[in-house]
Amino acid sequence: MKYIDIADSNRVNRSPDKIIQVLSDGTIVEKGYKIKNIQLRLYTEKNDKKLGLYSLITSLVETDKGSVEMIYDEGFRGNNALEKSSKFLTESLGISGLILRSLIFLDGK
């Protein structure tokens, strides 16, 4: 089952504008969950003449017991918002926090 942990799920009720695969065919096991796939997904929501693109970046964590998509970052982040977020996530040990946050959500379901 896929869950959307976003207050207004209509914001992600379409295909993402861009996806970065952070982990695929994973063999990570955490808290009894096998992590299969992690993606960062970009949804461009608007373009302000002064501030530029408004980006909604979500994380999608897929496990053997369900998947959850939740907000990772949002705002006027520039043209390479998804790439910058992916770099930060992978270089700052953010993946473990992202996984744990997602599993806590799934535990509640």
- Give the Cα-Cα-Cα angle 94, 5, 99 (nearest 5 degrees): 25
Asked whether residue 52 carries a pLDDT value surpassing 90, the answer given is no
Higher pLDDT, 76 or 26: 76
Give me the pLDDT at residue 65, please: 92
Q: Is the dihedral of CA 98, 104, 107, 109 positive or negative?
A: negative
Asked whether residue 20 carries a pLDDT value surpassing 90, the answer given is yes
Q: Where are the domains of the chain?
A: 2-107
- Give the Cα-Cα-Cα angle 32, 34, 37 (nearest 5 degrees): 145
> What integer is the mean pLDDT of 45-72?
93
**Residues sharing a CB contact under 8 Å with residue 68, sequence separation 6 or more, in sequence order:** 2, 3, 4, 5, 60, 61, 102, 105, 106
Asked whether residue 16 carries a pLDDT value surpassing 90, the answer given is yes
Higher pLDDT, 109 or 77: 77
Single-letter code of the amino acid located at 22: V
Q: Is the pTM of this model over 0.75?
A: yes
Mean of the per-residue pLDDT values for the chain?
91
Of 53, 35, 44, the C-alpha closest to 12 is 44
